[in-house]
Each structure stands twice: as C-alpha cells, then as structure tokens.
C-alpha cells in the first residue's frame, strides 16, 4: 500500500508540470550538497582572511591526486611508479625548502604577498619531471615569485649529487617583479632572464629537455610559444603546461605528439586545481600504434 502511494507520488512528480515545480527546491539542495557549496564557501571565507595571494595560488593536493600524477609521470619518463612516489615523499620531507618559504614570507619585502606554507600545487609535476627525466636543460616560461624555479633548482641539485648535470633558465616578462623564492635560495641553479618568453626562446639553441609553460593561457601566445619551442625540444624532451587548452591539444594532434593530462584535486582550498598537460614524443614514435596522440585522462 505504502509502496503504491510512493509510486503514484513519483509518477506525479516526474509526470506533471506541478511535480516539476515541486522538485526544484529539493533538486537545488541535492546539487548544492553534491557540489559541496557550503564547505567551499567556508574555504573561500577562511582563505580570503588568511591568504596574501591574489593570483598564481599555492595549494596542497590530495594524496590520491599525487599518486595519479606519479603514474602519469612514470609513463612519460618510462620509470617505475615507485621511483616517482619516492620523489613525492622526498619533497614532502624537505624541511629546508619549507623553512625557506616560511623565511621569505616573513621578510619585510614579501610579508604581504607570499603565503608562509610550503604548498607546491601543480609545481609538484615540474619537480617530479625534473627528478625523473634528469634533464640537462630546463626552461620555465613564467616565473612569478619563483616557487617552480625553486623546486626545479632543488631537483637539479639532487640530480647533480647523483651524477646527472642539469641547468635551468627561467623567463619572466615583468622587468621588475621580485622573484624572492628563487633569488633568495642559496643553492639556486641557473638564471632568470626578463622579457617575452617567445622572443627569448627564439634566441635559444636546441635542445631543451624539459619546457615548463606557466605564462598565460591566451590562445595566440600559446600557439606562438608552442610553435617556437617545438623546434628546440630534445627528442625525449617533455613540455609541461599548466593549461590544457584547445591550442595545446591541436598542437599535439597536428604534430603527431603524445599528450597526457592530469586534473589536480586540491585539499582544503576553494581552488579546483589545474588540468596540467604533458606533451612528449618529439623524436617520433617507435611503432605505428604509438604514432597517434595518446590522450589518457587521469581524473581522480
Ligand atoms: C602563473 S605565473 C608563473 C608561476 C610560476 N611558474 C610558479 O611556479 O609559481 C605567470 C607568470 O608569467 C609571466 N608572464 C606572462 N606572460 C609572459 C610572457 N609572455 N613571457 C614571460 N613571462 C610571462 C607573468 O608576469 C607571471 O609572473
């Protein structure tokens, strides 16, 4: 009997205009719960008060997100996943880097712009690639406060201690922006040049083993930058981009390159995370089946 009544009610709700109207409020509540609107709002409010950032956010990612990233990097670098997980743990245990970020955040010139927590976010991908690929030459376009530059420096220093030499070039458009996280790191590797990344890349000689695209996702800039850097990439070189845009996807498709992406899952932060893209296979593929673009999406 009760079952019949509930069935009739369900038919009424899903079969009439009145039912559709009556379902609007419960539907909105269900969606708000699933989309975690209330917790997100709490995170927005807490962050607005606590953070000093207005762009290029720092945030932590979940362990699951990091492990999926490790699997993607292992595939690209052709290394065992356990090795990449070792690099994740190595960075998480790096007290010197964490203390350096806290020191910079305390310094008078950056105390109102740099958050004190050591939260690599998407730069974890840059660190893992720098450790796994043992690149001889890393170029990062878009440096900002230098968190990526700091992590790449650390990776290259550790690589050197293991017998793999590598150098770093950062390119930053803003002629006067302070880059304290990199500039104040005593063991920094390489240098930073100020100017437009495409202009400076045109003057570079090949090969680049790891190129980090972290400038802006504007379509014209991405197309020009990718076209410029393609001619410089080592056959085993990897491009890591903060953004998986249509221009980046077209670039990989047009040139028969491999493409993998990783959607970050952030922790205790309103920021949804970046969809980081990796382009590789610049030396061509070994077999016909490898020649197509591999777009293996790795959502967590
Ligand atoms: C997203 S931030 C870089 C973040 C940095 N990689 C990190 O690890 O935190 C973007 C930076 O790119 C710089 N930028 C924008 N357009 C550029 C261009 N065409 N060439 C070089 N740098 C550029 C901006 O001034 C800004 O500092």
Q: Is the pLDDT of residue 249 over 70?
A: yes
Return the SS3 of 195. Answer: coil
225 lines ligand 1 (CB under 6 A): no
pLDDT at 111 over 80: yes
Instruction: Supply 45's token pair.
Output: 């409010």
Does ligand 1 have an atom closer than 6 angstroms to the CB of 148?
yes
Kindly tell me if the per-residue pLDDT of 287 is higher than 80: no
Residue with tokens 């390489």: 190
Angle at 52 between CA 173 and CA 157, to 5 degrees: 55
Instruction: Provide the pLDDT confidence category of residue 3 given band limits of 50, 70 and 90.
Output: confident
Q: Is 123 in the pocket of ligand 1 (CB under 6 A)?
A: yes
**Could you give the CA distance from residue 170 to residue 206 in angstroms, rounded to a whole number?**
16
142 CA to centre of own chain: 13
| Residues 179 and 144: beta-carbon distance below 8 Å | yes
Write down the H helix ranges in 93-242. 95-106, 123-133, 147-161, 180-183, 197-202, 219-230
pLDDT of 295 reads 32
| 23-35 per-position pLDDT tens digit | 999 999 999 999 9
Residue 284 has what pLDDT? Answer: 83
Domain limits of the chain? 2-35, 39-298
Mean pLDDT of 152-178: 98
Predicted pLDDT of residue 186? 98
At 155, the pLDDT band (50, 70, 90 cuts) reads: very high
CB of 214 closer than 6 angstroms to any ligand 1 atom: yes
In this predicted model, which residue has the larger pLDDT, 270 or 286? Answer: 270
Closest ligand 1 atom number to CA of residue 56 = 1
Least confidently predicted of 49-58, 116-125, 235-244, 281-290: 281-290
Q: How far is the CA of 285 from the centre of ligand 1 (A)?
A: 32
Q: Calculate mean pLDDT across residues 51-58.
A: 97
Model confidence at 285, in pLDDT bands (50, 70, 90)? low
Q: How confident is the model at residue 291, as a pLDDT?
A: 37
Please, which residues bridge with residue 192 across strands? 170
Give percent of the chain with pLDDT exceeding 90: 93
What is the C-alpha separation between 175 and 186, in angstroms, rounded? 22
172 lines ligand 1 (CB under 6 A): yes
Nearest to 124 by CA among 193, 34, 59, 37: 59
Query: How far is residue 125's CA from residue 131's CA, in Å, rounded to a whole number?
Result: 10
Residues 245, 266: Cα–Cα separation, whole Å:
20
Query: Atom 13 of ligand 1 has which residue's CA nearest to it?
Result: 142
Q: Find out whether the beta carbon of 141 lies less than 6 Å from any atom of ligand 1.
A: yes
* Res 1: pLDDT: 63
State both tokens at 180.
């304290």
Asked whether residue 288 carries a pLDDT value surpassing 50, the answer given is: no
| Per-residue pLDDT at 294 exceeds 60 | no
Cβ atoms of residues 181 and 145 within 8 Å: yes
- Note the pLDDT tens digit of each residue in 194-223: 999 999 999 999 899 999 999 999 999 999
Question: Is pLDDT at 156 greater than 90 in this prediction?
Answer: yes
- What pLDDT, in 10s, does the model give residues 83-105? 999 999 999 999 999 999 999 99
Question: Does 224 have pLDDT greater than 70?
Answer: yes
Q: Whose CA is nearest to atom 27 of ligand 1?
A: 144
For ligand 1, the distance from its centroid to the CA atom of residue 216, given in whole angstroms, is: 7
Question: By three-state DSSP, how is residue 114 classified?
Answer: coil
Strands 167-172 and 137-141: parallel
Q: What does pTM read for this prediction?
A: 0.92
Report the C-alpha gap between 12 and 185 in whole angstroms: 67
Reported CATH class of domain 39-298 = alpha beta
DSSP state, 204?
Answer: P
Q: For 4, what's the count of Cα atoms within 13 Å in the CB-facing half-sphere?
A: 1
């Amino acid at each position: 009997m009760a079952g019949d009544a509930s069935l009739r009610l369900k038919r009424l709700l899903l079969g009439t205009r009145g039912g559709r109207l009556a379902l609007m409020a419960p539907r909105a509540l269900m969606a708000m719960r699933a989309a975690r609107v209330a917790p997100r709002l709490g995170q927005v409010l807490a962050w607005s008060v606590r953070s000093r950032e207005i762009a290029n956010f720092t945030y932590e990612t979940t362990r699951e997100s990091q492990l999926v990233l490790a699997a993607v990097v292992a595939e690209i670098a052709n290394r065992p996943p356990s090795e990449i997980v070792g690099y994740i743990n190595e960075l998480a245990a790096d007290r010197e880097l964490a203390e350096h970020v806290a020191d910079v955040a305390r310094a008078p010139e950056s105390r109102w712009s740099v958050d004190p927590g050591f939260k690599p976010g998407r730069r974890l991908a840059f660190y893992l690639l720098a450790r796994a690929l043992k690149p001889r030459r890393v170029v990062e376009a878009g440096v900002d406060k230098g968190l990526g530059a700091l992590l790449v420096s650390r990776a290259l220093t550790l690589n050197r201690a293991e017998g793999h030499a590598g150098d770093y070039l950062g390119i930053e458009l803003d002629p006067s922006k302070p880059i304290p996280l990199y500039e104040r790191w005593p063991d920094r590797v390489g240098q930073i040049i100020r100017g437009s990344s495409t202009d400076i890349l045109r003057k570079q000689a090949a090969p680049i083993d790891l190129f980090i695209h972290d400038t802006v996702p504007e379509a014209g800039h991405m197309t020009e930058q990718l076209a410029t850097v393609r001619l410089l990439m080592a056959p085993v070189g990897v491009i890591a981009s903060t953004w998986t845009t249509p221009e980046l996807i077209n670039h990989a498709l047009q040139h028969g390159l491999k493409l993998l992406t990783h959607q970050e899952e952030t922790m205790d932060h309103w920021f949804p995370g970046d969809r980081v893209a990796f382009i590789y296979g610049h030396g061509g593929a070994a077999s016909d089946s490898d020649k197509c673009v591999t777009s293996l999406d790795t959502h967590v």
